[in-house]
Amino acid sequence: MSADLTIPDIGNFSDVEVVDVLVKAGDVVAIDTPLVTLETDKASMDVPATIAGRVTAVLLKRGDKVSKGSLIARVEGGEPAAALAPSAAAAPPAAAKPEGAGDTVRMPAPQMDRAERAATDHTRTAQLLVLGAGPGGYTAAFRAADLGLKVTLVERWQELGGVCLNVGCIPSKALLHAAKVIEDAAEMSERGIAFGTPQLDFTRLRAWKAGVVAKLTGGLRVLARQRKVEVLRGSGRFVSANVLEVTGASGAQRIRFEQCIIAAGSEAIRLPGLPQDPRIIDSADALEVADVAGGLLVVGGGIIGLEMACVYDALGTKVSVVELTPQLMPGCDPDLVRPLERRIRARYQQILLGTKVVGIEPRADGLRVAFSGDKAPEPQLFGRVLVAVGRTPNGNAIDAEQAGIKVGARGFIPVDKHMRTNVPHIFAIGDIAAPPMLAHKAMHEGKVAAEFAAGHKRAADWRVVPSVAYTDPEIAWVGLTETEARAQGTPFKKGTFPWVANGRSLSLGRDEGFTKLLFDPDSHRVLGGGIVGTSAGELISEVALAIENGCDAADIGLTIHPHPTLSETVAGAAEAFEGTLTDLYVPKK
């Protein structure tokens, strides 16, 4: 039987350029084998085969322009895909779905193509094996390949990108953007422009979010292929200090490696003793936005919980937050959290601090949640409960002891400044290595490990790791915090600029933010900084750069910042410290 392989629906694109043709007549393709690479001005994407068989003719060449329905190739003897599972980039990926216990992030089962299957029949070798394709793992793999190493990247999920791309940073930020649009529109109604009540189409919202993710994960596939990084789908566990066993769709195979970088990430923590009920969800489930009748209780007032609360609140859900410690966003300076707390206390149903969830009883009309603590309320009914109480590293889930790798009590794998474990040819990076669990820290460590593995002198520097909560208002901090400085007895002086005196902030309709910088009292060098307000996450990079480069207050204050911008508040904080600020009147002491 002969069949045509055509370009599927590629979103709003037409006349897209073919930049690579990956098959030729005579090739045998499996379902999901990449056929051509397309490139728009926004992304590269592989178009996979939807029918397996022998290619009899390829009907496209490099440089051709294609749209939905254009003929790619003809195959013979093919079997069609049972369901046209969208490939990474050509269309939004299947939603993360539950697929057995143990994985926080539930993705479709890996599908091996024929080449992969053939390769599983015998044991293979790798110069550098990277376990886990999250931001740490793919960065390490790509950098090592660029430095000339032969790299095998092992990943248990169908898509590359790990938690960050698939069910973390990226989809959450897409939804937070949607939330911001709703909020901005609502606020403008008091300023003379009314848009009316938003009409929410959750299916389209989810599809848009999935499309954003797919562009990035599809891009990773292309980048891996361009660098000749071999991607092996399956779940890895150590058998010895030089062998990893990978169990995939077609069974197990062993890979002998010279060096290995463990980048196996983390899982959401489950609260013990909670009943099994689909209405009790984690962050991955929460990203599959739904209309939550009966209200949402977010258990955990950390960054992830508060970001999801922000999304659901904007979408019209009644939100409550319960946090065990006395402060929202533990670890962040309390003064930075206050503007956020003020805003959400006025919007959310309740914020319970110093309060513990002690039981959840599933009932037909909702989840009955019991609390304990000095100010604990009586049990209450909620439509859903989002458990966002932190993440635990996967150090105990990869049989690390078989390789002689030391794993700490909480599941982190201790490393030195080169990211080496106690077994010198095995590295660990990202969430599995140490907190803070942040994508940019994982990427930094991925580069360090790859470069050291390739023989370069390289060490990690964790002095400047920015943290950002993409809430409304955003909160960001970097370097030394005031809380740490006081706890350690580190001397510091502070310069603060309130955003009520910033024209750009006022023209955005917001006045609650502020920027603060901590300085060494003798050298006046920047030690740390914190920002709360619109786009704080973007602004914090200037403070990070200042610390990294040993800038002092004058360096920042004398740098001409564009006006009117929020970035002026960083210069303003430095000037406030120096006593040269003119935008506010600060009486001389």
Which residues are catalytic, by number?
A: 563
Within positions 398 to 437, which residues make up the interface with ligand FAD, using CB under 6 A?
A: 398, 430-431, 437
Q: Could you tell me if 79 and 53 are in contact, meaning their C-beta atoms sit under 8 angstroms apart? A: yes
CB of 462 to ligand FAD, least distance (A): 14
**Rounded Cα–Cα distance for residues 255 and 262 (Å):** 14
Binding mask 350-389 for ligand FAD (x = CB under 6 A): ----------------------------------------
Q: For residues 63 and 102, which CB has a smaller minimum distance to ligand FAD in the complex? A: 102
CB of 268 to ligand FAD, least distance (A): 7
Q: For residues 46 and 431, which CB has a smaller minimum distance to ligand FAD in the complex? A: 431
CA 274 vs CA 279, 308, 366, 392, 576: distances in Å: 11, 21, 14, 18, 51
**Rounded Cα–Cα distance for residues 348 and 472 (Å):** 13
- Residue 134 binds ligand FAD (CB under 6 A): yes
Helix H segments across 227-359?
A: 283-286, 303-314, 334-347
Q: Of 222, 297, 232, nearest to 48 (Cα)?
A: 222
Q: Could you tell me if 6 and 74 are in contact, meaning their C-beta atoms sit under 8 angstroms apart? A: no
Q: For residues 86 and 162, which CB has a smaller minimum distance to ligand FAD in the complex? A: 162
Kindly indicate which of the ranges 1-9, 23-31, 314-322, 438-446 contains the residues binding ligand FAD, using the contact rule CB under 6 A: 438-446
CB of 155 to ligand FAD, least distance (A): 5
Within positions 150 to 209, which residues make up the interface with ligand FAD, using CB under 6 A?
A: 154-157, 162-164, 168-169, 172
Kindly indicate which of the ranges 69-77, 132-140, 452-460, 474-482 contains the residues binding ligand FAD, using the contact rule CB under 6 A: 132-140
Q: For residues 24 and 463, which CB has a smaller minimum distance to ligand FAD in the complex? A: 463
Angle between the N-to-C axes of helices 303-314 and 334-347, in degrees from 0 to 180, rounded to the nearest 10: 30
Q: What backbone torsions phi and psi does residue 279 show, to the nearest 5 degrees?
A: -85, -10
CB of 503 to ligand FAD, least distance (A): 29
CB of 165 to ligand FAD, least distance (A): 8
**Rounded Cα–Cα distance for residues 437 and 418 (Å):** 18
- Residue 298 binds ligand FAD (CB under 6 A): no
Q: Of 480, 520, 495, 548, nearest to 333 (Cα)?
A: 480
CB of 439 to ligand FAD, least distance (A): 4
Non-local (6+) Cβ contacts of 205 within 8 A are 175, 178, 289
Q: For residues 439 and 478, which CB has a smaller minimum distance to ligand FAD in the complex? A: 439
Which of 53, 136, 248, 302 binds ligand FAD (CB under 6 A)? It is 136
Q: Of 422, 418, 429, nearest to 459 (Cα)?
A: 418
Within positions 251 to 270, which residues make up the interface with ligand FAD, using CB under 6 A?
A: 263-266
Which of 48, 135, 305, 383 binds ligand FAD (CB under 6 A)? It is 135
Q: Could you tell me if 34 and 221 are in contact, meaning their C-beta atoms sit under 8 angstroms apart? A: yes
- Residue 300 binds ligand FAD (CB under 6 A): no
Residue 549 exposure: Cα atoms within 13 Å on the Cβ side: 11
Which of 352, 439, 478, 532 binds ligand FAD (CB under 6 A)? It is 439
CB of 292 to ligand FAD, least distance (A): 17
**Rounded Cα–Cα distance for residues 137 and 162 (Å):** 8
| Residue 59 tokens, joined | 């009907």
Q: For residues 333 and 431, which CB has a smaller minimum distance to ligand FAD in the complex? A: 431
Question: In this structure, how many other beta carbons lie within 10 angstroms of the beta carbon of residue 123?
Answer: 11
Binding residues vs ligand FAD (CB under 6 A) = 131-137, 154-157, 162-164, 168-169, 172, 235-236, 263-266, 283, 304, 394, 398, 430-431, 437-440, 442
